[in-house]
């Protein structure tokens, strides 16, 4: 993703510079041919045509919404393998492409938000998880229940999961309705897997995140917190889903909560 951003920025600068130089200098110096026609150089023609398109794409993906593809099962059943999602880029502050410098504060994550972020151990990778702990929170994970500042996050049993396609391995997992913040969401748990009790205090300017597929997610329990500067945006909709060589039409338009 970073490479694509760099390419977009470079192309915007190059095509914009060529177009500007032509308007200011080169166009005036152009001479007509034998038939009296003035021909525009190919480089100028392509730059003039492509510059606005490239800039619009750069603005849309940098400040409005960016598409991502989900390659793993860590957020099942909320987001499935093969889902293509859109991420709101203006939810947690507008940032410049490539440098990720914040230029406008537009808000911060709420507990329960599904966020895309640059993976702290390797920022070249993008991860998607759910925000569990905000700066200053104490988070405890005990007997597969989250406790935030001493209060258990409500869970309600909701049957067994029936998976399909790449997610069929999770068939039989327990489905629970969990309420982080104001909106309930489904999580998966494997009854035969146990975890030792863990406790964390979230530092200022960082977030504690977990996958909804609780026993098949590498998240803050394993590698720590997500710095605010690593946030990419809030995932809000599935715009396409492709699994096992076919389109999953029932997934298109699914709102991510």
Catalytic (active-site) positions: 74, 129
| Residue 176 near residue 157 (C-beta atoms within 8 A) | yes
User: CB under 8 Å to 51, separation ≥6 — which residues?
Assistant: 12, 15, 16, 19
Integer Cα distance of 201 and 72 in angstroms: 28
Give the integer Cα–Cα distance in Å for 103 and 59.
Answer: 14
118 vs 68, 129, 155, 193, 225, CA distance in Å? 12, 11, 29, 28, 11
DSSP 256: P
Radius of gyration of the chain (CA): 24
C-beta neighbour count of 122 within 10 angstroms: 9
């Amino acid at each position: 993703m970073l490479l694509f951003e760099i390419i977009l920025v470079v192309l915007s600068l190059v095509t914009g510079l060529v177009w500007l130089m032509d308007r200011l200098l080169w166009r005036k110096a152009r001479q007509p041919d034998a038939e009296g026609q003035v021909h525009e150089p190919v480089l100028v023609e392509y730059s003039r045509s492509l510059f606005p398109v490239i800039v619009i794409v750069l603005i849309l993906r940098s400040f409005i919404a960016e598409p991502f593809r989900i390659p793993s099962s860590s957020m099942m059943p909320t987001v499935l393998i093969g889902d293509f999602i859109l991420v709101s880029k203006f939810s947690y502050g507008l940032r410049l492409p490539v440098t990720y410098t914040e230029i406008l504060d537009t808000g911060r994550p709420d507990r329960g938000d599904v966020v895309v972020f640059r993976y702290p151990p390797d920022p070249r990778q993008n991860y998607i998880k759910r925000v569990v702990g905000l700066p200053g929170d104490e988070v405890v994970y005990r007997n597969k229940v989250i406790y935030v500042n001493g209060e258990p996050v409500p869970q309600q049993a909701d049957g067994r999961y029936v998976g399909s396609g790449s997610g069929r391995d999770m068939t039989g997992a327990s489905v629970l309705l969990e309420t982080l913040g104001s909106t309930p969401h489904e999580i998966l748990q494997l009854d035969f897997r146990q975890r030792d009790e863990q406790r964390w205090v979230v530092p200022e300017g960082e977030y504690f995140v977990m996958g909804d597929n609780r026993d098949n997610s590498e998240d803050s329990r394993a590698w720590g917190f997500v710095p605010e500067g690593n946030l990419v945006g809030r995932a809000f909709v599935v715009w396409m889903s492709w699994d096992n060589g076919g389109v999953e039409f029932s997934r298109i338009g699914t709102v991510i909560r």
